[in-house]
Structure formats: C-alpha cells, structure tokens
Structure 1
Amino acid sequence: MRDVALPPSSMRRWATRGLLLIALIFLLKEASAIVLPVLVALILTFVLAPAVRTMRHHGVPEAVSAAMLVTTVVGCTVLAAALLAEPAAQWWERAPQALSQGLNRVDRWRASIPGFGPPTERRASRAAPPPADPLRERLASEGVALTAQLVGGGLRLMVSAAATTILLYFLLASEHWVLSRCIELLPHRPRLRCSVLSGLRAAQRDISRYMVSVTAINLVVGGVVAGAMWLLDLPNPGLWGALAVLLNFIPYLGPLIMAGLLLAASVATSPGDGGLGALLAPVAAYLCLHGLEANVVTPLVVGKRLSMNPLSVLLSVMFWGWLWGVAGAVLAVPLLICLRSFSQRNRRMRPVALYLRGSDRPCPPLATLLREAAPRRERR
C-alpha cells in the first residue's frame, strides 16, 4: 500500500484556522438573535460612554447618568415611531389601491413591448373566464405571506429592542468597572495593557465621532428630503424623510433601496397622464441630494481621520448584510472602524489597517515600486 504524505504543519495549521473561521461565520449567522443585541448595545455604549464619563467627573453617579441617557434615547425613538405610525398606517391602508394603480401602469408598459404584455380576454366565448395574469396572481398570493413575515419580524424586533435597552443600561452603568476588570485579566505587562487600553479608547473615540457626525448629517438630509418630497407633492413627505435618515446609515446600498422605494411610490401615486419627468422627479431629487451629501458634506464633516477605503466599506456592508440583514449592514462601518483601530496597534495586523485606511494621496506607479524593491534585493 502506498504511503500518503502528510501536509506540513504550517499547512495543517492554516487549514485548521480556515475551518474555524468558517465555523465561526455560520455560528454568528445562527446566533444572530443573541449576538445582534449585544453588538448594538456595545456600539451604543461606545457612543454614549463619553457622556457618562463627563457626568461622572461632575459628580453624577454612573447609574443615574446611564438611566438619563437610556431614557432619552428610548423616548426619542418612541416619539419618532409615534409620529411616523400614522403615515405608515396610511400607506398600509392604501397599499392595495396603490399596488393596483401601479400594476395597471406596468401593464400598459408591458403591452407596449411585443411578447411581454398581459394576456387579453377572449371575446369568442362569453362563458369562458378571462385568463389570469401570472404577475398579479403571484403578488396576491405572496401578500398574506408578507404580512405574516412582517408581524413575526415586528415581534422579534420588539424583543431584541427590549434586550438591547436593558443591556445598554448595564453596560453604561458599569463601563468603567468592566474595562478595569478586562485590563486586570491581562498579563502583567504594562506595554500590552497600554496597547489594549489605547486600542479600546481609540475605537470608542472613532466610533463615537463617526456615529454622532453621520447621525447629524442624516438628520439634515432627512429634513431636506422631506421638504423636497413635499414640494413634489409626494404623499407623506415626513415618512420619506425618516426613511432617508435610516437608510443613509447603510453605505451604497441604502441610497439604492431608498431610490427604489421612491420610484415605486411615484409609480403608484402619480396620475396616469403624467409624463416621465414627473414620474422620475422624486428619485432624481433624492439622488442629487445624496450625491451632494456623499461627495461634499460627509468628507468635510467626517474628515480624513475617519475616512475608509470605499472597497473595504462595500465588502463589509455586503458581508454583514448577508450575515445579519439590515442590522448587519448598519453595523458594518462601526465594526470596520473598530477593526482598523485595533489593527493599527498590532504589528502583525498593520497590513490590514493599511488596506482599510482611506487616503487622498495618489498611489505611486508600479514601475516606481519595482525600482525601489530592486536595490533592497541587491543589498540582501
């Protein structure tokens, strides 16, 4: 029998790490109901912890300051949900009529394309029922399933929100204690403890600055979008402004979803005799506002210090969005900032920080890099 050569130890080690990484990814996907509230609470703790430390320096106990901040956040969220509940209910009530109007317009567009039009009624036989449209039947059959999914998702969201709120309070109230215990568990090496503490503080500072800046920008964008939709006579402009605020937290994919929603609303509510310009006006107005915000306002407010490589941001949004849906897409950039903060302080992970860091400096030509590498090989 022929002996089979075993792979080297390094190959076995890398294969084991790869299998562990794959197992960890699927574990995170299956455990999203537990991991997501913890991560959201941690990110909110990074954002709100500086306020708790400031109030502690002024003599306010951490438990009291944490309760004040959590109550403020929950109150603002409930108030926003209460203000948007009526417009959302109006859209939900008018959804069948809006869907029918949109389908009629789509049917006219399909009829103008040979071979794609809906089936027509046969006049030869009055007793025979008209053939059904497969598109309408599918939408009608999936409406019940969509309603059930929305109800189930709403219940899961309420449970996750309650767990996140409770966990956020305890993390804010004991942030100093938890951080001290984590540093105390490290080996007695001052350099290692300083590196871990500086990495945590840097991640906390960068995530806090990013979230506060982006939230302020998104609120302004939402107000401008609501005003633009009001000028364009799109129903419930406040609802569209709120959706613009929420979806703008998702880089690249969020604005595309918002543009698709505005196009669907414009198709469903615009008059049938309206031209193509009136139909596309809400989408065009939103895309112009988003282009101004993404290319001018955000780079000026966020600054170069928090700039990220666009390719890494897109890949992070795609990965975490696939893993945890919309919540993962929202957490993609804060998690990327956290990874960059720690990789900058780890010698082995500094190449990762180099790829994640955004830079306005143009890359040198490849020929120049090759000429710089040649003398190094000669010296060796």
Structure 2
Amino acid sequence: MDNAGSNQDKGNGKYAGKFPKIAQQTRLLNILVIFAVIYTLYLAKSLLVPLFFSAFVALLLSPLVAFARKLFIPRTLSAGALIVLLVAPFTFLGIELAEPAERWMQSLPKIAAEISKEIEEISSNIDAYATPPAEPVEKERSFFSWFGDDEKSPELSPPQDNTNSVTDKIKQSGIDIGLTLFGNAPFLLAQVLACIVLIFFLLVFGPNLFNVFVRDFPIVTNKRRTLVLVDQIQRELSSYIVTISIINSCLGLATAGVFYYLGIDDALLWGALVALMNFVPYLGGVASCVVLLVVGLVQFGLTSSAFLPAGLFLVLNIIESQLITPAVLGRSMQLNPLIIIIWIAITGWLWGVVGVLLAVPILMCFKIILENLGVFDHWIRLLESK
C-alpha cells in the first residue's frame, strides 16, 4: 500500500509541473488570437464595414418583409419597396442639403482664415501687454570710434519674428478637411450603393440561407432554441435601433425648428447633422456643440449671440439624454458611459466614422446575445453598471 501511494505521489509530482506551463501557453495563445482578430478587423475594414451596416439595416427591415410574406407578397417586391421607402427620404434630404453643405465646404478655408486672424489679434494684444518695450542697445565701441566726429544714435534691437504657427495649422487643416471630403466622395458613394444592393439580397435570400444553416449544419445542436434565440435577438435589437432613430430624428427636427424660428442660417443642415451625430452617445453631443459654436461665430461674429446655436442645442440635448431616452429605453437598454466611450474609441480606431456610428448597436447586440444565452452574467452587470 505504501509503495502504491508513493508511486502515485511520484506520478502527481511528475505532472504537477506541466499544468502551470499548459495554463501559461493557453493564456499566451488566447492573447495571440485576440491580437489576430483585432488585426483582421482593422485590415478588412473596407469589407466588414459595409457587411455590418447592411446586416443591421436588414435586421431592422426583416420583420416587415416577413409580415408581407404572410400576406402573400413576394420577398422581392416587399424588399424593393422597403428599400425605396428607406432611400427616398435620405435622397431628398441629401439633395436639399447638398447646396448648403457644398457652400460650407468651400468656405472652410475662409472660415479658418478668419478664425486665425482673430487668434492673431488676440495673441498680438497679449504680447503687447506681456512683452516689455525694447531697450536701446548701443553698438560696441572700438578704439578708433573715439576719434569720430559724428555721434550716431543708439540702435534698437531688431524686432523678433512672432509668426504664429497655430494660425498656419488652422488654415492648412481647413483646406485638408475639404480636400479629404471631396476626395473620399466617390469611394463613399460606391460603398453606399454596395450597401443598398447587399441589403436587398439579405432581405430576399438571407432567411432561406439561415434556415438551411440551422437545419442541415451539424454545428447547430439545439435547432429549436437557436431559432427562438435569433428571433428574440432580432426583435429586441430592432426595437432598440428604431427607438434610437426616432429619438434622434425628433432631436434633429426640434433643433432645426428652433434654429429656423430664430433666423439661424441653414437650420435644416444643422438639424440633420446633430441627429446623425447623436447616434454617438456623449461624444456626438460634444462634437455638435463645437460645430454649432463655429456656426455662431461665423454668423454673428465675436458677440454674445455667437453662443446662441450651441446653447440652444445643449438645452435640447440635455432634455433628450437625461429625461426622454432613459424614460423610453428603460434600465434594460442602459450601458455604462465609460465603457461606451472606450468602445467608441476602439471601433473608431478600427473602422473610422462608420465604426463610431455602429459602436453602440454592436455593443447592444453583444449584450442582448449574452442575456438571451444566459452566460457571462458578470459581463452583463459590468456593462449595465452605473
């Protein structure tokens, strides 16, 4: 018995040292997999961004296509009609906003020059008060200068070159923004057209592909639970996206209406801009305030009225974010603000502006999936913590 026990202890001691190494190798492998996924997401962003955006829109419109199918309307007709109804308002809005948007794009260098001029005047005034007057500096006398008849006046120190590099950067940044937007316009238009085509095919052929995947692929073990789970995720995420879209649209309309009543130029353009930026929580409101502050400076100059557009939007945004949105969405759809900002920074670094807009819907999708699967409760509590 003792020999057997000693042999067992020797066996345990033989393998005891291997388990920590295996655990370390597993952790290292997980880290490498995470970095590989991040690199793939960054490298394939031109492919993944249209796919994710189209998937979210198709997810939003899929219940309507399914309802039309129950009324014996073919998927092709219902999907085409829904896409027309979706694209037509945005096309009309784009046509209406094209002229003022182009005018502002062309005036960006002029606006940057005016702002830089104001900065130069302010900095020169500060320098005039802060810098003491230059004292006369006498020339160094040599031995033969004592015998000179003409007495020359002392020379002043040469004025220093106080060119402000900040103004040059502002001018250059304004030109760069305009060139970048105009340069990326064809690529952006191509991506929009590709998304429209992809949304149509997802609405028409996506449900059949999903049913075949669930029915025939062995990786899906519990087929009934998978169908119920996907249907629940679809309904909750669609409800979230529709609710947020309605709230942001109402905020944009309210902003445009108040601006139009007060005589602020291009009120519809700024209403559409704040509605779009409000899809980015917290940071979108800050960016809208900065843009509207520049708008006020351009229209009213350096007066107290320049703060009117940004101040009015700030009041509307506080009412929306602190009263309306929490009351409509409720506790189940709330996320921790710090996690939202960190996640927006990550998706913005990976996928740019579209990643910033898709950040919160993707995070909500993860949260809904975890809730319906009943796993990782600690992550759900972390996402909802306040």
Q: What interval of TM-score do these two structures reach, taking the shorter chain for normalisation?
A: 0.7 to 0.9
Indicate yes or no: 2:335 matched with 1:312: no
Shift of 1:347: 5.0
Structure 2 letter corresponding to 1:308: L
Provide the rounded CA distance (Å) in 2 between the counterparts of 1:251 and 1:34: 25
2:243 to 204, 213, 235: 213
Alignment of 1:276-315 (within 5 A): 277-315=304-342
Q: Which of 343, 352, 376 is residue 379 of structure 2 equivalent to? A: 352
2:364 maps to 337
- How far 1:193 moved relative to its partner? 2.4
Would the aligned equivalents of 1:320 and 1:328 in 2 still touch at CA under 8 Å? yes
Look up the match of 2:182.
151
| Correspondence for 2:210 | 179
Aligned counterpart, 2:73: 60
**Per-residue CA shift, 1:9-49, capped at 9, x if unaligned?**
12211211111111111111111100000000100011111
Contact 1:232 1:282 in 2 (8 A): no
Q: CA deviation at 1:195?
A: 3.4
Counterparts of 1:244-283 in structure 2, within 5 Å, are 244-272=274-302, 274=303, 277-283=304-310
> Is residue 236 of structure 1 aligned with residue 266 of structure 2?
yes
Alpha-carbon deviations, 1:186-210, whole Å to 9, x = none?
A: 43876x3233323322221122111
Moved more, 240-249 or 154-163: 154-163
Counterpart code for 1:194: R
Q: In 1, distance between residues paired with 2:380 and 2:115?
A: 48
Unmatched tracts of structure 1, length 5 or more = 118-123, 360-380
Does the 8 Å contact 1:304/1:358 carry over to 2? no
In structure 2, the CA distance between the partners of 1:178 and 1:245, relative to structure 1 (3 Å rule), is same
Contact 1:98 1:269 in 2 (8 A): no
Q: Distance in 2 between matches of 1:303 and 1:234?
A: 35
Equivalent residue number for residue 252 of structure 2:
222
CA distance in 2, matches of 1:10, 1:30: 30
Q: Matched residues in 1 for 2:253 and 2:232: separation? A: 32
Inter-CA distance 225–144: structure 2 relative to 1 (3 Å threshold)? closer
Given that residues 203 and 337 in structure 1 are in contact (C-alpha distance below 8 angstroms), is that contact kept between their aligned partners in structure 2?
no
Query: Could you tell me which amino acid in structure 1 is paired with residue 335 of structure 2?
Result: M
Other-structure match for 2:31: 18
How many residues align? The count is 344
Q: Does structure 1 retain, via aligned residues, the 8 Å contact 2:54–2:196?
A: yes
Deviation at 1:80, TM superposition (A): 1.1
| Distance in 1, Cα, partners of 2:163 & 2:201 | 57
For 1:23-79, what per-residue CA distance to the aligned partner results, in whole angstroms no more than 9, with x for missing partners?
111111111100000000100011111110111111111111111111221222211
Distance in structure 1 (CA, Å) of the matches to 2:171 and 2:306: 25
Q: Deviations over 1:175-232 (max 9, x none)?
A: 3202202212443876x32333233222211221111111111111111111222344
CA–CA separation in structure 2 for the residues paired with 1:140 and 1:116 = 26
CA distance in 1, matches of 2:129, 2:88: 51
Q: Which residue of 2 is the match for residue 166 of structure 1?
A: 197
- Secondary structure at 1:234's aligned position in 2? coil
Structure 2 CA distance for partners of 1:47 and 1:313, relative to 1, 3 Å:
same
TM-score w.r.t. length of structure 2: 0.81
Change (3 A) 1:313 1:136: closer
d(CA) in 1 for partners of 2:44, 2:298: 39
Partner of 1:364: none
Describe the SS at the equivalent of 2:269: helix
Gaps (5+ residues) in structure 2?
A: 1-16, 131-154
Q: Which structure 2 residues correspond to residues 83-162 of structure 1 after superposition, within 5 A?
A: 83-114=96-127, 132-162=163-193
Q: Which has the larger radius of gyration?
A: 2
| TM-score, normalised with respect to structure 1 | 0.82
Tell me the alpha carbon deviations over residues 133-183 of structure 1, each in whole angstroms, 9 at most, x when there is no partner. 423333444455433322232122111111111110000012320220221
**Backbone CA RMSD of aligned residues:** 2.8
Structure 2 residue 52 is the aligned partner of structure 1 residue 39 = yes
SS of 1:264's partner is helix
2:5 aligned partner: none
Counterpart of 2:58, as a letter, is T
Quick one: percent identity of the two aligned structures? 25
- 2:142 corresponds to which residue? none
Question: What is the deviation of 1:250?
Answer: 0.7
Q: CA deviation at 1:298?
A: 0.9
1:198 and 2:228 matched: yes
Work out whether 1:78 is the aligned partner of 2:91.
yes
Q: Name the SS for the 1:233 alignment partner.
A: coil
Q: Which moved more, 1:211-220 or 1:84-93?
A: 84-93
